[in-house]
Amino acid sequence: MKSTDLVLRGILLALILLLGFVSDSRAGNNSLCFGCHQDADLSRVDAAGKKISLYVSEVRFKSSVHGDLSCSDCHTRIKDDAHSAGGQKIRERVNCGACHEEQNREYLKGLHAKTDPKTSTRAATCSDCHGKHAVYRANDPRSMVHPSQVGKTCDRCHSDRDFTRLHALGPTSPGELFKESVHGKQGK
Ligand code: HEC
Ligand code: HEC
Ligand code: HEC
Ligand code: HEC
Ligand code: HEC
pLDDT of residue 7: 63
Ligand 2 atom 26 nearest Cα:
54
> What pLDDT shows up at residue 12?
56
Atom of ligand 2 nearest to the CA of 64: 1
CA-proximal residue: ligand 4, atom 42 (nearest): 129
**154 and 173 Cβ atoms separated by less than 8 Å:** yes
Q: Which amino acid is at 91?
A: R
Q: Whose CA is nearest to atom 17 of ligand 4?
A: 138
Closest ligand 4 atom to residue 96 Cα is 35
Contact yes or no for 142/131 (Cβ under 8 A): no
Percent of the chain topping pLDDT 90: 59
| Model pLDDT for residues 147-160, shown as the tens digit of each residue | 999 999 999 999 87
177 lines ligand 3 (CB under 6 A): no
Q: Which of 55, 56, 136 to mutate to test the pocket of ligand 2 (most atoms within 8 A of CB)?
A: 56
Say if residues 133 and 69 touch (Cβ distance below 8 Å).
Answer: no
Beta partners for residue 44, in sequence order = 52
Instruction: Please tell me the pTM assigned to this model.
Output: 0.88
